[in-house]
Amino acid sequence: MNTARIFTVPVTPDEINETQIVEGQMARHIGIEITEVGSDFMTARMPVDHRTIQRIGILHGGASLALAETVGSIAASYCIDREKQYIVGQEINANHIRPVKSGYVHATATPLHLGKTSQVWDIRIRNEEGKLVCVSRFTVAVLHKT
């Protein structure tokens, strides 16, 4: 994508964390928070702790997917006319590159395609040293409210 602003309304991490990541839902339960909104990307972080590790003490692949789908969904929802449209996930995949035992992981979502009826997002998850942990591709359908 180019450097043109992709989001249809001005949005801040604080606003998203207050209105989109709410009590009682998965993203809040596992500690996901949006940390940055750029002109053509959105970044979130998630702790690697007792909520997000698997039995051998490393980041659970499902937690990585939850992080990827959360940041991808929120970013996608700000690229449409939110009064007339909404998005739903259609497909997500991931390649897990390296394990993480503690700290935070950071996921950055950038669009590969922003169409009228679908969007495709590239989500890269990195550890605190900036090393690639997971690569995900997320596809959403853009639907019209009735």
CA nearest neighbour of 44 among 28, 60, 23? 28
- Residue 69 appears among annotated catalytic residues: yes
* Spatial distance between the Cα atoms of 24 and 40, rounded to a whole number of angstroms: 29
CB atoms within 10 A of CB 141: 14
Report residue 81 as tokens.
């006319």
Alpha helical stretches, state H, 4-119: 13-19, 26-29, 61-77
Select which of 23, 69, 91, 129 is catalytic.
69
CA nearest neighbour of 89 among 99, 107, 77? 77
Name the residues annotated as catalytic. 69
